[in-house]
């Protein structure tokens, strides 16, 4: 969302089964334990698309064995589809408007099965489309959402989704003033979306949440991701105070029912803004959180232990910069036998990292690159 002078479920999406394991409550270790950032060259960087202003990413496996990388494009009010293995631009979908299949500043994106969800900031809604044809099925949230940005989806039962949407409404003539603390209890809104068939759904608003304390309020929110096996949400707060960094940007932990646990990533973990976040679930017991730190001149990708949130290392590409959304695609593809991390580059392109390269560079658990 921002550059150095200025933040779906991605929206990255986790498909693991839900258990009743409660989130941990012990404080995370200090960021000073983190080793230096290492270089992991990109496997590709796509051609620039300067008119799009790409923001968030999601992946979808096609029936013929390919993988699509679908990106929201805010300035062209559309979705852009790439071949995830090569970075080739395949098509664009939509256009400016408020009708079915049209968008106004699409931002967060998430895909579950054949259903694609898009958060539209300026239409104040979430639109649902059916893949592979991007058939519009309907919208929800227009009565409650003011400025939706990111979203994350969890399938709580067959055909029933919990959809979490970050709502980063602002005050002021230029919409650049963080609202008072007592209004920040609506920074994340939860919906229950039930499908009666592939093309018909009902959405029910289940309320909103957000800490309103001075120390831990969610001030500027966009990216959100979850871990169903641990019943844990991590919400990116991009806000950094100008007064001595009293409120540095961070990822803050919530339970699935919207309770703040008081946990966050290690103090000082982010030198710039916390942007895209995704869970890399290697096995039921092994995994890492991946988060983009929008440093200048290049993005640093930070890794943290799945359970303890302990820092595990960081890497950067040769050119990838100004990253907003990321998408972690763990299944093997022809070009990425160990999966891939996709990241927005400079608002105009997408970059791809081989997860096998990341495992080797950071000495991660070999279960993540079997």
Region class of 77: left (phi > 0), else alpha (psi between -120 and 50), else beta: left
pLDDT in tens, 166-221: 999 999 999 999 999 999 999 999 999 999 999 999 999 999 999 999 999 999 99
Give residue 273's pLDDT.
93
Please tell me the distance from the alpha carbon of residue 276 to that of residue 300, in angstroms, as a whole number: 11
pLDDT at 232: 96
DSSP state letters, 110-139: EEETTEEEEEETTTTEEEEEETTTTEEEEE
Please write the tens of the pLDDT for every residue from 131-170. Answer: 999 999 999 999 999 999 999 999 999 999 999 999 999 9
Q: Which strand ranges, in their side-by-side order, compose the sheet holding 287-293?
A: 38-39, 311-316, 300-305, 287-293, 274-281
CA–CA distances in Å: residue 217 to residues 185, 221, 246: 8, 10, 12
Q: Judge contact between 168 and 108, C-beta under 8 A.
A: no
pLDDT at 17: 38
What is 31-172+184-363's CATH number, 2.120.10.30, 2.40.30.30, 3.50.50.60, 3.60.15.10?
A: 2.120.10.30
This prediction has a pTM of: 0.90
198: which strand partners?
Answer: none
Q: Output the pLDDT for position 245.
A: 57
Residues in the chain: 370
Radius of gyration of the chain (CA): 19
pLDDT score of 30: 55
Domain boundaries, the chain: 31-172+184-363
CA distance 162 to 74: 25
- pLDDT score, position 246: 66
- Bridge partner list, 66: none
Helix (H) or strand (E) holding 355: helix 355-362
- Supply 164's token pair: 């979490």
> What is the SS3 assignment for 369?
coil
8 Å CB contact between 164 and 233 = yes
Which residue ranges of the chain lie beneath pLDDT 70?
A: 1-34, 242-246
């Amino acid at each position: 969302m921002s550059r150095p002078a200025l933040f779906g479920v991605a929206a990255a999406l986790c498909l693991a089964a839900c258990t009743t394991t409660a989130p941990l409550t012990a404080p995370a270790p200090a960021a000073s334990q983190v080793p230096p950032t290492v270089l992991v060259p990109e496997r590709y960087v796509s051609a620039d698309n300067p008119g799009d202003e790409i923001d968030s990413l999601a992946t979808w496996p096609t029936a013929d064995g390919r993988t699509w990388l679908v990106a929201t494009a805010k300035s062209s009010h559309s979705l852009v589809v790439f071949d995830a293995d090569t970075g080739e631009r395949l098509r664009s979908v939509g256009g400016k408007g408020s009708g079915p299949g049209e968008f106004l500043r699409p931002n967060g994106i998430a895909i579950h099965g054949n259903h694609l969800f898009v958060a539209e900031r300026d239409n104040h809604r979430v639109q649902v489309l059916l893949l592979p044809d991007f058939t519009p099925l309907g919208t929800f949230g227009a009565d409650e959402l003011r400025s939706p940005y990111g979203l994350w989806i969890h399938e709580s039962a067959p055909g029933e989704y919990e959809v979490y949407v970050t709502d980063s409404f602002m005050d002021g003539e230029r919409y650049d003033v963080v609202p008072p603390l007592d209004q920040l209890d609506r920074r994340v809104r939860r919906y229950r979306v039930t499908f009666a068939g592939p093309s018909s759904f009902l959405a029910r608003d289940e309320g909103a949440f957000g800490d309103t304390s001075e120390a831990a309020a969610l001030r500027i929110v966009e990216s959100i991701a979850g871990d169903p096996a641990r019943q844990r949400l991590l919400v990116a707060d991009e806000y950094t105070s100008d007064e001595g960094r009293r409120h540095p940007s961070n990822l803050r932990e919530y339970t699935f029912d919207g309770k703040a646990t008081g946990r966050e990533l290690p103090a000082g973990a982010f030198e710039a803004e916390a942007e895209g976040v995704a869970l890399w679930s290697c096995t039921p017991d092994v995994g890492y959180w991946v988060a983009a730190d929008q440093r200048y001149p290049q993005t640093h990708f930070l890794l943290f232990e799945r359970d303890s949130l302990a820092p595990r290392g960081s890497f950067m590409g040769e050119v990838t910069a100004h990253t907003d959304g990321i998408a972690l695609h763990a299944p093997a593809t022809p070009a990425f036998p160990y999966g891939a991390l996709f990241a927005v580059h400079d608002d105009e392109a997408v970059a791809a990292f081989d997860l096998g390269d990341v495992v080797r560079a950071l000495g991660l658990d070999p279960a993540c690159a079997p």
